[in-house]
Amino acid sequence: MRAHSMFLAIGLLAAPMLAVAADDPAVLQLSQRLMAISANPDTAELGAFERMQAQQAIATLDKAKRRDRELAAYLAERRVEIAETAVRAALAQREVSQLDRTRSDLLIEASRREASRARQEAERLRVQAQIQAEEAERLRLAADAEVLARQDAENALTSVAGKQQQRLSAAQQNAAKLAREEAELVSGQKLPAAKFDNRGEVFTLGGDAFASGQAGLSNGARNQAKALAEYLNIGKKGRVRIEAYDSATGVGQRRAEALRDALVAGGVSSSRLQVSGKKAAATKARSAEVIVSP
């Protein structure tokens, strides 16, 4: 509404000025410079306040007495230059904003493509490992009658399977790393600290995730849950177990349920989530864990 009023004021000032500008070349020239801004669809809505001030200065110049014209002409010229500079600055800012949006879109798209390729490679290696495991079993059964031959075959296959498992584990961890980067980029929030152990991928929320003796998530924990929900929705389809801790009876269970509700609000299916409260003291380093099954 304010911008509309400003454009209307400029129009009301410009109309009578055009009628008299032909009598004064300086007024005509300055008015034409302002009209060039209004006539350009890319700049018609920019620098409205500065253009209105310039139009008022031109009107003052047009009405100025002889003794005041030099000062009025100087002020009008400066006001027009300020208006033109303001328009150029607004155009530049618009271009910078557009470039920032384009860069962000490209980064997100590149991250998604890289994560997709990593997931495909992990799946290919998983199938390959499964085929090799089945072949290892067939060979073991075929060599069962000859203990020495069977042992030699198992040793060889164990070595191959170990190397393949290492490659598969590395590919899965790389896919998880890329998925974490994508989740943080899309959600705009940081994930909790993560590690891999024999339970799977484990995200750990620190002691500041909950107030002492309380089950409500802190603001920082809500932001972490937002990023974690995005991560679980990217490519992680397995089961998720939530464990929370507090020495008071029932608080650990309520904390786990609060964290589950935050993940469900972020789009994670509740059927994937299991909660478990632990009656054990929360520490500065750990008040809850989210365990993603391999």
Give the 3-state DSSP-derived string for the chain, with helices as H, strands as E and coil as C: CHHHHHHHHHHHHHHHHHHHHHHCHHHHHHHHHHHHHHHCCCCCCCCHHHHHHHHHHHHHHHHCCHHHHHHHHHHHHHHHHHHHHHHHHHHHHHHHHHHHHHHHHHHHHHHHHHHHHHHHHHHHHHHHHHHHHHHHHHHHHHCCCCHHHHHHHHHHHHHHHHHHHHHHHHHHHHHHHHHHHHHHHHHCCCCCEEEEECCEEEEEECHHHECCCCCCECHHHHHHHHHHHHHHHHCCCCCEEEEEECCCCCHHHHHHHHHHHHHHHCCCCHHHEEEEEECCCCCCCCCEEEEECC
Q: Are residues 170 and 198 in the same domain?
A: no
In this structure, of 9-18, 43-52, 114-123, 211-220, the range with the lowest mean pLDDT score is: 9-18
Query: Do 232 and 279 belong to one domain?
Result: yes
* pLDDT tens per residue, range 230-278: 999 986 667 999 999 999 999 999 999 999 999 999 999 999 999 999 9
CATH for 261: 3.30.1330.60
Residues 194 and 276 in one domain: yes
Structure-token match 């500008």, residue found: 21
Instruction: For residue 268, tell me if it sits in a domain.
Output: yes
235 assigned to some structural domain: yes
- Count up the domains in the chain and report the number: 3
Is 9 a member of any domain? yes
Q: Identify the CA nearest to 286 among candidates 169, 173, 200, 193.
A: 193
Considering the domain architecture, whether residues 195 and 138 belong to the same structural domain is answered as no
Domain presence at residue 258: yes
Min mean pLDDT across 7-16, 102-111, 149-158 is at 7-16
Distance CA 235, CA 252 (A): 29
Residue 158 has pLDDT above 80, yes or no: no
pLDDT at 97 over 80: yes
Say whether pLDDT at 145 is over 90: no
CA-wise closest residue to 30 among 3, 65, 48, 56: 56
Of 41, 70, 98, which one is at a domain's C-terminal end?
98
161 assigned to some structural domain: yes
Q: Is residue 110 part of a domain?
A: no
The amino acid at residue 49 is F
**38-84 pLDDT tens trace:** 888 888 888 889 999 999 999 999 999 989 899 999 999 999 999 89
Q: What is the pTM of this model?
A: 0.45
Q: Which of 131, 163, 185 is the last residue of a domain?
A: 185
Q: Is residue 105 part of a domain?
A: no
pLDDT bracket for residue 10 (50, 70, 90):
very low
Is 103 among the domain residues?
no
Same domain, 146 and 197: no
Residues 119 and 64 in one domain: no
Same domain, 203 and 180: no
Residue burial 248-271, b: 16+ Cβ < 10 Å; e: rest: eeebbbbbbbbbbebbeebebeee
Under 8 Å CB-to-CB from 151, ≥6 apart: which residues? Answer: none
**Residues 207, 181: one domain?**
no
At 74 the pLDDT is 94
243 shares a domain with 197: yes
> What range defines the domain where residue 14 resides?
2-98
Same domain (yes/no): 170, 197? no
Last residue of a domain, one of 185, 202, 233: 185
Q: Give first-to-last CA distance, the chain, whole Å.
A: 56
Instruction: Say if residue 94 is in the same domain as residue 127.
Output: no
Based on the domain organization, do 121 and 80 belong to the same domain?
A: no
